[in-house]
Chain A
Amino acid sequence: MRSLGKYVIFMGSLFTRRETFSTYISLITQECINVGYNSLFIVGIVSIFMGAVTTIQTAFNLVNPFIPDYVISLVVRDMAILELSPTIIAIIFAGKVGSSIAGELGTMRITEQIDALEVMGINASSYLVLPKVIACVIMYPMLVILSIFLILLGGYLAGTLTGILTSVDYLYGIRYEFIAFNITFAVIKALVFSFLIASISSYKGFFTTGGSLEVGKASTSAVTNSCIAVLLADYALAQLLMG
């Protein structure tokens, strides 16, 4: 409870004693490159392979000849939109971006760089953390949309190249009884997960004490706590929005 209270106060401190708007614009742009652009490769690779594997495994399990082939791509589509892209990519995102945020802030803390900012009269939490949180909240939903597309592409390639289903069946399946709200749901999940990952990782890094060993521990703890928070939020959002 004490940590939760400290986390809430920390979040509040992001919005006090802010710097000028132009300062944040340049910081947010830089962070968008760090958290978004630099995550494209890993998100792309993981998404394409998830799509391919999901297609092959779904086909392998659908042995009933009365079930049409297009159901395979329908299953891949719904899994991608509802769970694989927003949640599994969030775990990858926590591992890549969350650990990087915690490591960066932790190192800045133990080398007194955060103290240097505070001495200059700058609100270090607002200056360092707010741009990271905003950048994550902007970039992660975009990564999720890209990931959905790449999962479907990976599924298409695996399905058609191995002869599991035809191109026509695949495209018919991904359009069959499409529910537009599922995309909204995925974006809502992406917004919530990205906020949780960025804020928890920043919190863990910002309050690091000790030396390099503790920075490593803070990074690990940031990833672990972010993943747990993402999974809890995933359940809560599913219950709230789909239940």
Chain B
Amino acid sequence: MIEINNISKSFKGKQILFDISGTFHKGKNNLIIGASGTGKSVLLKNIVGLINPDQGDVKYDNRSFINGSKQDRKQIRREIGMLFQGGALFDSKNIEENVKFPLDVLTDMPEDEKIDRVNFCLERVGLVNINKKMPSEISGGMKKRVGIARAIVNKPNYLFCDEPNSGLDPQTGIKIDNLIKEITAEYLITTIVVTHDMNSVIEMGDHIMFLLEGKKLWEGANDQITKSDLKELNDFVFATKLMKEMYLR
């Protein structure tokens, strides 16, 4: 479980996040949704420690990440797996080396065990026989899958995904969403996904937090999101004709 308490952040005097609090549950797909430029990715970066908030705290299973000791912070970081928007695969390493990288730097595992684990994770995300390919030789969807394999290779307790299906066709996007959903349930990890894609919200969201202009406006379960009276949320959820036809008819 991850708790965020009163997170605020500003850049060059401009407030981006306003006092955001919330809880993200274990074994659930927790979604942070909102329009582009509303502070979702900034909030995610605050949670994983890539940016330090101006105020507030983040607790991973009651261990403070922001105000905790260096040792705690280091330990928590090692329990985190993250899928970045563009995959963030290392260009100079092949697929196998990319997926193996967390094991190389964070564990003392023997080499043959590492390779077995890499092959298991690549198979788990539906990729076989691409170990020796370079990131530039595979498609965007495959890069995302390799990113997921790298994120789960060290058996994380927390999985973060920043726009996992951006830039992908709807079918591949759904496959990626389903994969994240399955992995979350399978390994019982706390997953936080940042997205603005309503398909993802419907497909995989268990617990959803809605942000607008840096403020948390709504938080609730998947089945409640289409029944809310909040105008801003409805404007976001029913922005497409398809969603209107599906739920408002």
- How many residues of chain A have a CB within 8 Å of chain B? 16
5 contacts between A and B (CB under 8 A): A116-B90, A120-B101, A120-B106, A121-B74, A121-B80
Select from chain A the residue with minimum beta-carbon distance to B45: A115
Q: Which A residues lie within 8 Å of B78 (CB)?
A: 120-121
Chain B 42-70 interface residues, beta-carbon cutoff 8 Å to A: 45, 48-50
CA A120 to CA B83, docked complex, whole Å: 11
Number of A-B pairs, beta carbon distance below 8 Å: 49
Q: Which A residues lie within 8 Å of B49 (CB)?
A: 118-119
Majority DSSP secondary structure for residues of A touching B:
helix
Supposing A118-B50, A120-B105 touch, asked if A112 and B77 sit within 8 A by C-beta, the answer is no
Asked whether B218 is an interface residue with its Cβ less than 8 Å from the other chain, the reply is no
Q: Which A residues lie within 8 Å of B86 (CB)?
A: 111-112
Residues of B within 8 A of A (CB): 45, 48-50, 74, 77-78, 80, 82, 84-86, 88-91, 101-102, 104-106, 160
Majority DSSP secondary structure for residues of B touching A:
mixed
Asked whether A46 is an interface residue with its Cβ less than 8 Å from the other chain, the reply is no
Q: How far is the CB of A97 from chain B (nearest CB, A)?
A: 16
CA A46 to CA B12, docked complex, whole Å: 47
Asked whether A23 is an interface residue with its Cβ less than 8 Å from the other chain, the reply is yes
Q: 1/0 per position for A87-123, CB-CB distance to B under 8 A?
A: 0000000000000000000011001110110111110
Q: Which A residues lie within 8 Å of B45 (CB)?
A: 115
Cross-chain contact B106 with A115 (CB below 8 angstroms): no
Q: How far is the CB of A195 from chain B (nearest CB, A)?
A: 24
Cross-chain contact B106 with A121 (CB below 8 angstroms): yes
Q: Which B residues lie within 8 Å of A120 (CB)?
A: 77-78, 80, 101-102, 105-106
